[in-house]
Amino acid sequence: MTNQDIRKILVEELHRIAPDIVLDEIDPDGDLHDEFEIDSMDFLTLVTALAKRFALEMPEADYPKMQSFNALADYLQDRKT
């Protein structure tokens, strides 16, 4: 799976949570909570959906590694390889 594929899936899952967000208007290195206006429950929903979609365990201890769009995409890429 390519990084581009992972980013596409990440965008799809983020749009399920925050459908009004225009990706071109956010800072991909900015905090997910701020950039996508999501709360901790939305974040948990996102992580759960991604874990299921990628068939990965994403432990709570790793959440600090997933604080931006780019960081989350990199995390998924690292875990899939």
Residue 36's pLDDT is: 86
- Is the pTM higher than 0.75? The answer reads yes
In the chain the domains, ranked by start, together with CATH numbers, are: 3-80 (1.10.1200.10)
The pLDDT assigned to 80 comes to 83
| Residue 60 pLDDT class (50, 70, 90 cuts) | very high
Q: Is a pLDDT exceeding 80 seen at residue 81?
A: no
Cα(66)–Cα(46) distance, rounded to whole angstroms? 11
The tokens describing 4, both together, are 């581009």
Whether pLDDT at 71 is above 90: yes
pLDDT 10s digits, 33-58: 898 888 999 999 999 999 999 999 99
